[in-house]
Amino acid sequence: MAKKPLIGICLPNKGNFFAELFIRLNLYLSGAKSVSLRANNHISKDKIDGMILSGGSDINPVLYGGRKDAHNTKLDKKRDAFELDMISYAVKRKIPIFGICRGAQLLNIFFEGDLYPTILDFDEYIIHQNSIFPIKDVYVKKKTKLFDILKKDKIKANSIHNQAINKVGESLKVTAEHEGLIQAIEKRNYPFMLAVQWHPEYLFYIKEHRELFNDFVKACNKKKGWNFFVSIIELIFVLYERIYSPFKTERTVDLLVFSSLVILIILISPFSV
């Protein structure tokens, strides 16, 4: 069996329990091990083969030339500084990077882009819904890494953010949008640097979102060993997508299926490392 790549997950010193849990689950399903990287504890950074910038609190607006009060949540300046250092560390070593929500925004800032401090700064009349379930249409641009992974030019995604990318950073390319809001960016001529505004970790029961993690892990290690538990879980997902998906109509049904899959996977998969 091939050696599994080790993925570092950038997280705050406290909190983000469920985000970490589901990111670890997705990485396990993709054949990788994972380790937490926090400002107060990142001794494993020299061992990582890839890095995930997870979601969380608003980013300090001072970092992108915004007003000091231009934020909606409590700031975590220590985390901001740590993760910007980690991006620099990874870029210098060409380590694959996958950004999620806040992670996409921070990656954009690293390359000298900026943000809309709130969605209303983009459009004061916009109706912006938040949900961990797929509620918005994301339009993917062709001839991009994201399109190559998803094999679709339109997907359903969730929405759990109150900030968004405004000016795109240098050498970054916009690869997806929703009602004019940037939903994904990527960098060319790099082993893997892709970031999305939604939270694919919570949509592991949908093939396209699992493929984001699969492709990221492949970029971290071309060799992927066979795993019995992963194979069984993938079979469960295939059956779900073929039998259940065409008939789903109620959000409550989504919740029941989602919860059932989580319980089943936790019971049969030793994914947490």
Whether 42 sits among the annotated catalytic residues: the reply is no
Active-site residue among 42, 83, 101, 209? 101
CB-facing half-sphere around the CA of 264: CA atoms within 13 A: 15
Active-site residue among 42, 71, 161, 199? 199
Alpha helices for 50-206 (secondary structure H)? 77-92, 102-110, 119-122, 145-150
Active-site residue among 20, 83, 201, 208? 201
What angle separates helix 77-92 from helix 102-110, to the nearest 10 degrees? 60
Note the Cα 43 to chain centre separation in Å: 23
Alpha helices for 123-250 (secondary structure H)? 145-150, 207-220, 228-239
Can you name the residues that pair with 68 across neighbouring β-strands? none
Give, in order, the Cα–Cα distances in Å from 153 to each of 68, 71, 138, 141, 147.
38, 32, 8, 6, 7
Q: Closest Cα partner for 100 from 143, 159, 151, 43?
A: 159
Q: Which amino acid is at 84?
A: L
Whether 179 sits among the annotated catalytic residues: the reply is no
Cα angle 104, 98, 134; round to 5: 70
The residues that are catalytic are 101, 199, 201
